[in-house]
Structure formats: C-alpha cells, structure tokens
C-alpha cells in the first residue's frame, strides 16, 4: 500500500501531497498489517479441507470435525473483521487526502484562469481530485496490497507437491502478461476518454449559459446535433476501453477456473500414483485459486488505477504551475497613489500582448475615465491594474509596492472590481455584497449598498437583504445585478475601485447613483479607475486616459483631453501640440 499511495502523493518537501502521505503513515501501516492478517487467514479454507480429507474422514471422528469447523468459523470471523477494518481505513485515508488537498485544489481551480491558459471548462483539476479520492476508497488498493502475498501461496503449493507449484507459477505468469496488456490498453484509452469528456462538458456548459439565446433563436436542434456528435465520440472511446478491459478480465476469470480444474486433475493423478494424499486434491485447488486471485482483482481494477495515476500526474503538474506561495509581509493599507510603470501585459498563459508600454500615476482622491475605440486595450488595462492579468514587464504599484508584494487575499480587501460581464453567486443579496465573508458586519453591507444607491431597491425585495438571488443572480434583472455588483465592489471602502463599463445596463437613476458613488470614493480618499463607452460614466471623473491599439495615447485633466478629442474628430492618436496633455504614444510630453 505504501508504494501504491506513494506513487500518487510522493512530492518534494512541504508539498501538500507529501503532507497527505505523512498524515496517513500510521493508517497505511495499519492497512498493511490488516492485509497481512487477511492473507494469512485466507489459508483457512485450504488447511480445513486438508484436515477433513486426511484426518477426519479416515478416522470417522465427528468431534474432530466439529472442533475443526468451530476453529475455521472463528478464523473466518476474524478475516471478515479485518476486511471491514481495512476497507474503513482506506476510506479514511481518502478522507485525509480530501482534507489536506481540498482547499489546495479549490484555490488552484480559482487561480488557473488568471494565471494560465485553461482548457475545457476549467474543472479538470476537481475531476482529477475526485478520481484519486474514489480510487483510494475503492477495492483497488486492497487488490494491490494482496499481490505481494502470491509467493507465500505458491510456496505452500510447492510444499503440497512440486508439480502443483509449477502449475501455479505458470498460471501467475499468464495472468501477469494479461495485466501488462490491460495496462497498455488502459493508458491510451483513459487519456483519450478524458479529453473527449472535457470537450463534451465544455460545449454543454456553454450552451447552458446561453440558454436564453438558444431558446429565442431556435438553436437547440443544431446545438443538440453538435453535442451528440461529441457525445458519440466519447461514448465510443469509453465503450472500446470497457470492452477491452472486460475481455482481459473475462479471460483472467476463465483461465483461473481452467487452472483450478487442472490442479484438481493433477491432484487426482498424484493420489492415484500414491504421491499425495486425498486432501491435497481439494486443498491445492483452493490454494492455487487464491494465489492467483490478487492478479485477477488487479486486472479488474487496473483501469481505475491507471485513471487515478494519470489524474495525479495532471494534478501534480497543476500544483507545480500554480504554486501556493508563502504569504509575504503584511503591508499597511494603501492610501496615496496608483502608479503604472511601462506596463506590458496580456492574457494569462498565452504569448499575446494586448497592452504595451503604458505609464501613468493617479493620486488619492482622483477618478480616471478610460476611453478609446473597441479592442483598444481598455478592459485589458483594467485587468492588469487589478492583478488579474500578469505583468510581463513593468509594474503596477500601490503606494510604491508592486502587486506581487501583497498576499492575494489581503490585496483583494483593498480593491473593488466590477467586471464587464457581471457574475453573482447563488446566495442572498447580503452574502454577495459582503463577498461571502463568514461573519460580515451588517453596517458595512448597508453602507456599501447606500453608496451604490441600491439600499432602497434592496428593501423592496421580498426578504430584503436576505433575498435569494438564484444561480448567477438569475432572479434579478441585468440592471439590478450590475448595481448589486457595484455595491460588492464598494464593500468596506477599498482604496482602488476598478469599474469596467459599470453603466452598460443602467437607467437614468442608476447612472446618477453611479456618479454619486464615484464622488463618494473620491471624497474619502480612494481612487476610481473606470472603463467607459458612454460619456455619462465620466461625470464623476477628473482625469481621462485614452487607449488605442494597446497603447496609452493621452492622459490628463478631463476637460482638456475631451476638448482635444473633439477637435481631432475622436482620433487623437498623436496629440503632440497640447501644452497640458501628456502624450505617451511617442514617449514625449508636449
């Protein structure tokens, strides 16, 4: 068991896998000891039959038969107790694995989209985690724990008679060959089935997220056909893998039955030739069958073993690519400045640059509106400023400290972010505004709602702040979701508030509330970074920053920048003659 589990969780020092293995050491020793006792007790049936045929029947002694039967019954009871104990311990080992790695897996799943390129639906790590945990609590580990006891059974077969021992060895070699073939077929089919399953699930989840569009435009039939094609490929691959595994498993069962009959026939010949006693016929048949049972069980569980092994390799690689760094020294809350220095950034996990050479600084109490044509890098800049996208070169600094000098969770308390695509979580209004903190301060929740101008709206809900909003906020309108998300961004007065098109779903009342929220952040000494397409979003801003083709082309006081934009017909790629306008596209200040 040590070797099997260590194959999954043997990792460098301080790794979470190594921690799980370390915490399971005593349980692994207990499982190994239980396996030893179980395999010794498996000899009960063989020796019972040997004694009955060689001693009880010749002596015709009923008391001896009763005594042997009671002893055998007691040993069988002990065997059953140890079987239950081993199964329960394996389940608890999988529980320790879950306890140690569960939080790590969740954090890695959440970190992957902002650190690396994610394939499929992004939940492969969770499926791998479940696969490993399921295997550890299944009959698979027990089957592999029984394999080392094969030599003991074969040695006893030799004690019965050398010919019987050689038959047992031959049978073991054939079954080992079947195990190798099973392993080779399972490796490729399991990997292919996993990839096809991910592709199928991703497509279905995308269709589900856009269920309204699918229904409105009659796309269901065509999408169903596309999904069925992917599902057919997955089903065919899984069926082929199952068919192959079942063939090898059936061959091993039939071969073991044939071998058992061959041992019976050989025992009969040996008795006829006066080379063995009558009890050898039955005892050797039972023992030979038992000696090969672990191999047969290993073949039956081999696909699960290979799947778990591949799952652990993927999970280990994910942990390596998404390390859990030690928390840095806790810095004081920022209060002075946001500075961006020659920033180059792009989507995580891709060789693609979307913003290049951007530099600017914003002091506390200011709000900057980010404008520019579509695909100019506005939202990319917002993601880079919050640390969602990586900084390939340059830096984003809060009060002089780069974002990587902060602990992720600690940094999050100082940033409020409203993305372009609003996503709320299943729960109450209060839970969403408070960012699902376990014991939020009611006053802070209400204050955030009041600043966002949604307090009165929330009070009109059926249960006020305790109203359940459904998955992704499905019980709310688009405008309501956007305003509650704004309240979430403003919760506990973060220093930097980044808003990406916050008025895209707002009416006149909502836009007025947004403008007041921006001014509120400025009055308390915060910074607002707002990506805007509609001019009304700039009402509370004192600065404007213009992006074009991933570069900052203009930055300065709002009135001056907007005036220059209007004079240049909204094409201020090079604003080189303004005495107050900072032009960064050609690295000059005019």
Q: Tell me which range, 7-21, 249-263, 275-289, 517-531, is most confidently predicted by mean pLDDT.
A: 517-531
Helices marked H in 10-43 — which ranges? 16-23, 25-41
Q: Which residue has better confidence, 364 or 195?
A: 364
Percent pLDDT > 70 in the chain is 88
What is the rounded average pLDDT of the residues 554-580? Answer: 63
- Residue 170's CB: how many other CB atoms inside 10 A? 12
What is the rounded average pLDDT of the residues 390-414? Answer: 89
DSSP state letters, 61-88: -HHHHHHHHHHHHHHHHHHHHHHHHHHH
The whole-model pTM stands at 0.68
Per-residue pLDDT, 492 = 92
- Domain carrying residue 179: 2-321
The answer on pLDDT for 567 being more than 70 is no
Per-residue pLDDT, 213 = 65
Per-residue pLDDT tens over the stretch 454-490: 999 999 999 999 999 987 787 888 889 999 999 999 9
Give the integer Cα–Cα distance in Å for 573 and 585.
8
The answer on pLDDT for 448 being more than 80 is yes
Residue 130 domain-assigned?
yes
Strands 496-500 and 415-418: parallel
Q: With helix as H, strand as E and coil as C, how does 546-576 read?
A: EEECCEEEEEEEHHHHHHHHHHCCCCCCCCC
Instruction: Indicate left, alpha or beta for 427 from its phi (over 0: left) and psi (-120 to 50: alpha).
Output: left
Identify the three-state secondary structure at position 468.
Answer: strand
Q: Phi and psi (nearest 5°) for 14?
A: 75, 5
Q: How confident is the model at residue 119 (pLDDT cuts 50, 70, 90)?
A: low
Q: How confident is the model at residue 3 (pLDDT cuts 50, 70, 90)?
A: very low
The answer on pLDDT for 138 being more than 60 is yes
Residue 179 domain-assigned?
yes
Q: Tell me which range, 53-62, 190-199, 243-252, 577-586, is most confidently predicted by mean pLDDT.
A: 53-62
Residue 531 domain-assigned?
no
478-489 and 508-523 helices cross at what angle (nearest 10)?
Answer: 0
Residue 88 domain-assigned?
yes
Enumerate the β-bridge partners of residue 557: 543
Strands 551-557 and 543-548: antiparallel
Lowest average pLDDT, out of 74-78, 116-120, 134-138, 408-412, goes to 116-120
Give the integer Cα–Cα distance in Å for 357 and 257.
74
The answer on pLDDT for 261 being more than 60 is yes
The CATH number given to whatever domain includes residue 73 is 1.20.1560.10
What is the rounded average pLDDT of the residues 348-369? Answer: 90
The answer on pLDDT for 1 being more than 50 is no
Identify the three-state secondary structure at position 116.
Answer: coil
Q: Which residue has the tokens 């010749």?
A: 58
| pLDDT averaged over every residue in the chain | 81
DSSP state letters, 255-285: HHHHHHHHHHHHHHHHHHTTSS-HHHHHHHH
124-136 and 302-321 helices cross at what angle (nearest 10)?
Answer: 140
Look up residue 501 and give its DSSP letter: S
- Residue 511's CB: how many other CB atoms inside 10 A? 17
Residue 136 domain-assigned?
yes
Give the integer Cα–Cα distance in Å for 15 and 9.
9
The answer on pLDDT for 234 being more than 90 is no
The H or E element containing residue 100 is helix 62-115
- Number of domains making up the chain: 1
Residue closest to 129 by CA, chosen among 301, 319, 321: 319
Q: With helix as H, strand as E and coil as C, how does 233-263 read?
A: HHHHHHHHHHHHHHHHHHHHHHHHHHHHHHH
Per-residue pLDDT, 533 = 79
**Cβ-contact 175, 252 below 8 angstroms:** yes
Q: Which residue has better confidence, 172 or 205?
A: 172
The answer on pLDDT for 323 being more than 70 is yes
Residue 73 domain-assigned?
yes
Q: Which residue has better confidence, 246 or 438?
A: 438
Lowest average pLDDT, out of 60-74, 260-274, 292-306, 382-396, goes to 292-306
What is the rounded average pLDDT of the residues 492-497? Answer: 94
Q: Which residues contact 563 (CB under 8 A, 6 or more apart)?
A: none
Residue 99 domain-assigned?
yes
Residue 350 domain-assigned?
no
What is the rounded average pLDDT of the residues 153-166? Answer: 84
Give the integer Cα–Cα distance in Å for 185 and 208.
35
Lowest average pLDDT, out of 381-385, 415-419, 436-440, goes to 436-440
Percent pLDDT > 90 in the chain is 24
């Amino acid at each position: 068991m040590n070797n099997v589990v260590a194959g999954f969780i043997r990792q460098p020092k301080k790794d979470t896998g190594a921690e799980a293995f370390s915490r399971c050491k005593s349980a692994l020793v207990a499982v190994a000891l239980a396996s030893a006792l179980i395999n010794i007790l498996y000899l009960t049936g063989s020796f019972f039959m040997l004694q009955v045929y060689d001693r009880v029947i010749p002596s015709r002694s009923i008391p001896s038969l009763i005594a042997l039967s009671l002893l055998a019954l007691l040993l069988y009871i002990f065997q059953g107790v140890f079987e239950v104990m081993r199964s329960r311990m394996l389940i608890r080992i999988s529980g320790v694995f879950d306890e140690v790695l569960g939080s790590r897996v969740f954090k890695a799943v959440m970190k992957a989209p902002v650190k690396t390129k994610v394939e499929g639906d992004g939940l492969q790590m969770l499926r791998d985690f479940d696969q490993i945990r399921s295997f550890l609590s299944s009959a698979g580990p027990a089957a592999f724990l029984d394999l080392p006891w094969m030599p003991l059974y074969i040695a006893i077969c030799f004690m019965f008679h050398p010919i019987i021992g050689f038959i047992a060895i031959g049978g073991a070699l054939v079954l080992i060959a079947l195990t190798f073939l099973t392993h080779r077929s399972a490796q490729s089919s399991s990997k292919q089935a996993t990839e096809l399953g991910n592709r199928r699930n991703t497509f279905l989840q995308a269709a589900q997220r856009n269920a309204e569009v699918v229904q409105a435009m009659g796309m269901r039939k065509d999408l169903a056909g596309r999904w069925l094609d992917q599902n057919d490929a997955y089903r065919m691959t899984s069926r082929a893998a199952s068919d192959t595994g079942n063939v090898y498993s059936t061959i091993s069962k039939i071969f073991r039955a044939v071998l058992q009959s061959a041992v019976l026939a050989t025992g009969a010949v040996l008795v006829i030739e006066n080379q063995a006693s009558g009890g050898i016929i039955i005892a050797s048949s039972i023992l030979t069958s038992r000696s090969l049972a672990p191999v047969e069980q290993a073949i039956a569980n081999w696909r699960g073993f290979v799947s778990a092994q591949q799952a652990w390799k993927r999970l280990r690689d994910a942990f390596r690519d998404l390390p859990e760094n030690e928390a840095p020294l806790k810095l004081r809350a920022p209060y002075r400045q946001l500075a961006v220095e020659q920033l180059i950034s792009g989507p995580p996990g891709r060789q693609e640059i979307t913003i290049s050479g951007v530099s600017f600084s914003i002091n506390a109490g200011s709000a900057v509106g980010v404008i520019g044509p579509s695909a100019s890098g506005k939202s990319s800049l917002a993601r880079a400023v919050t640390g969602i996208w990586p900084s390939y070169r340059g830096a984003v600094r809060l009060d002089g400290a780069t974002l990587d000098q902060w602990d992720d969770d600690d940094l999050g308390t100082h940033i409020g972010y409203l993305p372009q695509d609003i996503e709320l979580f299943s729960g109450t209004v209060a839970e969403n505004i408070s960012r699902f903190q376990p014991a939020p301060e009611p006053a802070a929740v209400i204050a955030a709602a009041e600043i966002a101008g949604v307090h009165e709206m929330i009070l009109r809900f059926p249960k006020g702040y305790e109203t359940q909003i459904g998955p992704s906020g499905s019980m709310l309108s688009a405008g309501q979701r956007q305003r509650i998300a704004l309240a979430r961004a403003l919760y506990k007065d973060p220093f930097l508030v980044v808003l990406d098109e916050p008025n895209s779903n707002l009416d006149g009342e909502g836009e007025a509330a947004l403008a007041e929220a921006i001014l509120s952040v400025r009055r308390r000494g915060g910074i607002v970074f707002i990506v805007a397409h509609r001019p009304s979003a700039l009402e509370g801003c004192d600065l404007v920053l213009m992006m074009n083709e991933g570069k900052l082309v203009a930055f300065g006081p709002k009135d001056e920048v907007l005036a220059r934009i209007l004079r240049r017909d909204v094409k201020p790629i090079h604003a080189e003659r303004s005495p107050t306008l900072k032009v960064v596209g050609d690295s000059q200040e005019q």
